[in-house]
């Protein structure tokens, strides 16, 4: 697949086009980026939920649905995303490729107009957002945040980051904080919207069988006069590890969740990032990794055990479902897997399996236009674009020594245990 072509349409407004005949649809995404902060995170998270309810020309969900059908069944979604310490509002639209529907109107232009209408021509009531929409979506956001409490692994991770990054913006969840919802009003939310509308950096993506030159002209026409007074996105805060912190919370649950946070000196933009990926693959990213094989399979100390990277923030986290009474034993065995990886105590088979799994994942991701866009967006935020083929070749070239070097640049920071109030359970059945 070719590279994205990037065009600066206006200050703070960029377009990225990937011409390809791989798909029978054209995928469009628009991102507004905003610094993650306690003061604005909840309002920013609420904005796409309210904006998707209706705009000036399509004031209800029903009218939006009818409009989508008129665009030959186009699909549309909005969401809030968190990459490092940046919050992103995302508009995501997929339309049929006109090459397969020559009798249809210009669906790409119609799609761009639709995104503009929703993002820049909102439905207003008394110079603020419609109060009934704000009220309903506040309830929906409240339920979404409260629902996290019932997803114990995700809840444990949220609590881990709140402890580990307590003095950093990353501690704030992408959907904001429950205690901030009630004070949001239609007026205050519209004021927050105006801040983003006028200051947020905009990136619009188009992937499909399109001509970059004609698309540039079209986007300039549709989004004319989108001037901005850009906000500065602060650099990621990196905190050194001074000592390992231990924290826990008790709930009436049967299965405890052990969340472990580590800080890395390697980030997405680092030359050693491919080695970090392979290190994570050897340690815990896959069913053949050390955490799954040793902690879950061999010793039956976990219902699940895996590790993941947040490479923009330079974090790694390990999550395991365990029995509370086996906490010390499970933590010790997990730490042993970290020590073994740092010491190079893994086989050539472990290395090869991690590389193959990563390569397969990178290749399969190219079959999803949305993932291709998201991967490029991560590169923009990190100021380093990584082409899939280049990353695949770099992963293949990683040696055991490279993995050890990466592993030794990762330090344990925080251990969080979401445990059972009774401390009873049965990890012996975790096979």
Residue whose tokens read 């050890």: 404
d(CA 265, CA 240): 9
**How much is the pLDDT for 430?**
35
What's the CA dihedral at 216, 220, 223, 229 to 10 degrees?
100
Q: How far, CA to CA in Å, does 256 sit from each of 33, 148, 270, 335, 423?
A: 36, 16, 35, 18, 9
CATH class of 5-222: alpha beta
For the whole prediction, is pTM greater than 0.85? yes
d(CA 273, CA 280): 11
For 150-186, letters b (16+ CB in 10 Å) and e give eebbbbbbbbbbbbbbeebbbbbbbbbebebbeebeb
Q: Cβ(156)–Cβ(257) under 8 Å?
A: yes
Count CB-CB contacts under 10 A for residue 213.
11
Residue whose tokens read 């697949």: 1
CA atoms within 13 A on the CB side of 31: 24
Question: What residues contact 165, with CB distance under 8 A and at least 6 apart?
Answer: 171, 239
pLDDT by residue for the chain (431 residues), tens digit each?
Answer: 679 999 999 999 999 999 999 999 999 999 999 999 999 999 999 999 999 999 999 999 999 999 999 999 999 999 999 999 999 999 999 999 999 998 899 999 999 999 999 999 999 999 999 999 999 999 999 999 999 999 999 999 999 999 999 999 999 999 999 999 999 999 999 999 999 999 999 999 999 999 999 999 999 999 998 878 999 999 998 899 999 999 999 999 989 999 999 999 999 999 999 999 999 999 999 999 999 999 999 999 999 999 999 999 999 999 999 999 999 999 999 999 999 999 999 999 999 999 999 999 999 999 999 999 999 999 999 999 999 999 999 999 999 999 999 999 999 999 999 999 986 433 333 33
Count CB-CB contacts under 10 A for residue 3.
10
Q: Cβ(22)–Cβ(164) under 8 Å?
A: no
Handedness of CA 326, 332, 334, 340 (dihedral sign): negative
CATH class of 245-429: alpha beta
Residues of the chain with CATH 3.30.830.10: 5-222, 245-429
């Amino acid at each position: 697949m070719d590279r994205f072509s990037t065009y600066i349409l206006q200050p703070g407004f960029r377009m990225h086009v990937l011409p390809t005949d791989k798909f029978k649809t054209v995928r469009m995404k628009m991102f507004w980026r905003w610094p993650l902060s306690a003061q604005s995170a909840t309002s920013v998270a609420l904005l796409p939920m309210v904006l998707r309810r209706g705009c000036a020309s399509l004031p209800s969900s029903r009218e939006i649905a009818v409009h989508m059908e008129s665009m030959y069944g186009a699909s549309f979604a909005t969401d809030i995303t968190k990459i490092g310490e940046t919050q992103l509002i995302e508009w995501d639209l997929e339309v049929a490729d006109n090459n397969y529907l020559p009798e249809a109107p210009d669906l790409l232009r119609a799609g761009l107009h639709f995104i503009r209408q929703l993002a820049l021509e909102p439905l207003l009531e008394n110079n603020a957002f419609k109060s009934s929409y704000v009220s309903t979506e506040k309830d929906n956001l409240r339920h979404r945040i409260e629902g996290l409490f019932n997803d114990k692994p995700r809840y444990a991770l949220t609590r881990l980051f709140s402890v580990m990054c307590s003095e950093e913006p990353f501690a704030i969840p992408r959907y904001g904080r429950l205690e901030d919802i009630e004070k949001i009003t239609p007026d205050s939310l519209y004021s927050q919207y105006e801040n983003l509308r006028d200051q947020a950096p905009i990136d619009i993506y188009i992937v499909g069988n399109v001509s970059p030159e004609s698309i540039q002209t079209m986007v300039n026409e549709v989004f004319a006069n989108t001037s901005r007074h850009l906000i500065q996105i602060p650099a990621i805060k990196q905190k050194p590890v001074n000592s390992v912190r231990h924290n826990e919370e008790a709930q009436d649950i049967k299965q405890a969740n052990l969340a472990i946070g580590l800080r890395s000196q390697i980030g997405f933009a680092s030359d050693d990032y491919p080695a970090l990926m392979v290190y994570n693959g050897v340690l815990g990213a896959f069913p053949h990794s050390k955490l799954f094989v040793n902690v879950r399979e061999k010793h039956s100390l976990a219902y699940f055990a895996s590790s993941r990277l947040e490479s923009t923030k330079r974090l790694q986290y390990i999550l395991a479902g365990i029995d509370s009474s086996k906490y010390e034993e499970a933590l010790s065995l997990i730490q042993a897997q970290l020590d073994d990886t740092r010491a190079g105590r893994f086989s050539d088979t472990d290395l090869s399996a991690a590389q193959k799994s990563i390569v397969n994942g990178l290749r399969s991701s190219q079959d999803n236009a949305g993932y291709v866009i998201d991967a490029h967006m991560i590169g923009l935020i990190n100021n380093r674009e990584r082409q899939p083929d280049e990353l695949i070749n770099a992963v293949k070239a990683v040696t055991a020594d490279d993995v050890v070097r990466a592993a030794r640049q990762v330090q344990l920071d925080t251990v969080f245990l979401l445990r059972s109030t009774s401390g009873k359970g049965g990890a012996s059945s975790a096979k």
